[in-house]
Amino acid sequence: MKGDLKGYGTVWYHPTGNANILSLNNVRKKYRVTLNSGSEVQGHLVHKGNGSKRVFRPSKEGLYYSEVAHDVGAILVHTVDSNKSKYSVRQYSNAKKACSLQDIIGRPSTQDFIKYVEGNMIPNCNMTRQDLLRFEDIFGPNLRISEG
């Protein structure tokens, strides 16, 4: 599912999950991010607009995480495997082909790509709107698409 994380923007989540993975690149576009490696509070510090900081510490496996109080709300994760399991093998395969075609034709936005497909602007294209939307449902938005 898609949701809006206050102060961050659009995120993909699963309503029964218990974690969410944020892109450091996207976080840095909205907040100042520093790496603190020399003191007792090691990790990435996200400096919020109100002067507070959120600390993302490295786990034993190396993934950075932040402790969140239960009253803040849910932090959610959605895995590709769980998303993929909602579709048939053919639907999954067509979704991957749609992403590949999107890359080949210059990585237009999903909205533009749907217009091209529905307007029969791509010769010999057997993709459908559903194939394109399935890709985003399974993998999240194509981060390689052109901006603007």
Q: What's the predicted TM-score (pTM) here?
A: 0.47
Q: What is the pLDDT of residue 41?
A: 66
Taking phi over 0 as left and psi of -120 to 50 as alpha, with beta for the rest, 123 belongs to beta
CA separation for the pair 17, 11 (Å, rounded)? 13
Per-residue model confidence (pLDDT) at position 52: 82
Domain ranges of the chain: 2-78, 81-139
The pLDDT value given to residue 44 = 83
**pLDDT value at position 131?**
92
The ranges of the chain with pLDDT < 70 are 1, 7, 12-21, 39-41, 68-79, 142-148
